Structure 1
Amino acid sequence: MGVDLEVSEHAFNALIPTLQSGKVDLVIAGMSYTDERAEQIDFSSTYYSTVNQFVVSAEAVNQFNSLEDFSKVKIGVLKASVQEQLIAKQYPEADYVAMNKNGDLIEALKAGKLDAVFMDNIVIADFIYQNAGLIAAVEELELEGGSFDKAVALAKGNSELLEVVNKVIDEAVASGEMEGIVQANIALVREGN
């Protein structure tokens, strides 16, 4: 594209306002497509799909045998995420806490301040590897509507940039390169790089 890449980190709940203000051109942060978000921003083609799951302390994983078991515990979610929306909708009486960073949620879980965290399975896989024996996914239990397509977010109306992004994504998905990128990044995390 003939531009220099500058990466900046923001709290998840600040990503859309930061994009709308023009402070960034793209959000590539595991952003899930939703109709509500699409009213505010544009989305690229889908580059990956994930499933949301619960992660709990490894010693408590056998205490969760049904989705109803989560209605009685304190759940952590990423602030302004699809996970927060799902928990609020499907567990309206639940005690849930929204935080700005996934790492903070996992630390709160390990410290016993949360009983469960709800996040996408790719993120969970990395945290489980980094915290082997301390946390575990409750893999058999999935909330209805808990799968989401990941896409790049752009400010509304930037059709020229959207066209370039879609071309790159579509080619990477069709060739299998995108799956290779995801798996290579998971491997890097597991190697501690």
Structure 2
Amino acid sequence: MKFSKLLCGALALVGLMASPVWAKDWTSVRIGSEGAYPPFNFFNASGELVGFDIEIGQALCAKMEADCTFVAQDWDGMIPALLSGKYDVILASMSITEERKQQVAFTEPYYRAALTFAGPADSTITDLSPEALEDLSIGALSASTQAEYLQANFPESDVRLYRSQDEVNLDLVSGRLDLQVSDLLPMLDWVTNSEDGKCCKLVGEPIMDPKYAGEGTGMALRQEDQELRQKLNEALAAIVADGTYQAINAKYFPINIYDMK
């Protein structure tokens, strides 16, 4: 008799745990971003997290009718913090790669990407072969696809990795680097629109190899959160269709980065 009561109680508990009461409705979503990658995500003079990524996130949340909060996180810890539950989505210009897909799920790309070299404005470097860049110092953001590209293709160069893109830029400005490799769009913005970036220029052709440029830039989620992934994909399609995406794009870039080839 006691066993039957215990069994019934256990089954009732299992039924309760499986009920919709325990399902996430995603009316509240926490979004992780870095805050050190202008113009995509950065802190303004008032200490607010702003940029293209943030505005896209706000537009997506409006479409989903979700209350969203943004959480700043250093790049190196971005995926571990997602997996530990610090936030629900990474919206921080993260390239979609096979390696990352082993850990997280991605939405459809919300923009396309390429890599680029950058160097001092007076640099005479034109040959970007591994042989030509032997012994030169080249910087990149740590734990990034740019870092993977350098480590795989320039083993004889002095590859230096940094915790933030701002630190890479600073060492290029100060002459402690000969070159750096970065994502094309933020680097184009930096050399074109910033005071510090006047020191420098893009070097060579864009690097489009999908092994390093990725399949595009997506939002990362825990693999089990497929319902949220679907909601984000639907919201992304909606803001592209109604012109919201293009309006945000135009504030930051002279080209359409959604389907950039």
The answer to whether the superposition gives a TM-score over 0.5 is yes
After superposition, what is the alpha-carbon deviation per residue over 1:21-69, rounded to whole angstroms, capped at 9, x for unaligned?
1101111111001111001011000111111001111111x32333343
Paired residues in the alignment total 186
Give the corresponding residue for 1:120. 183
SS in 2 for 1:96: strand
Distance 1:143 1:112 in 2: 27
| 1:1-193 correspondence to structure 2 within 5 Å | 1-60=64-123, 62-68=124-130, 69-128=132-191, 129-130=193-194, 131-140=196-205, 142=207, 144-145=209-210, 146-148=212-214, 149-173=216-240, 177-186=244-253
Task: Note the aligned Cα RMSD (angstroms).
Answer: 2.1
Shift of 1:112: 1.1
**Greater shift after overlay, 175-184 or 114-123?**
175-184
**Greater shift after overlay, 155-164 or 4-13?**
4-13
Q: 1:175 to 1:2 in 2, by over 3 A?
A: closer
SS in 1 for 2:69: coil
Code of the residue aligned with 2:161 in structure 1: it is A
Shift of 1:179: 4.5
Q: Which has the larger radius of gyration?
A: 2
Structure 1: gaps of 5 or more residues: 188-193
Higher relative contact order (CA 8 A, sep 6+): 1
Structure 2: gaps of 5 or more residues: 1-63, 255-261
Question: Normalising by structure 1, what TM-score?
Answer: 0.86
Distance 1:114 1:49 in 2: 27
After superposition, what is the alpha-carbon deviation per residue over 1:54-106, rounded to whole angstroms, capped at 9, x for unaligned?
1111111x323333433331111111001111111111222111111111100
Distance 2:170 2:117 in 1: 15
The question of whether the paired residues in 2 share the 8 Å contact of 1:74 and 1:97 is answered with: yes
Distance 2:78 2:109 in 1: 18
**Greater shift after overlay, 34-43 or 134-143?**
134-143
Identity in percent: 25
Q: 1:179 to 1:95 in 2, by over 3 A?
A: farther
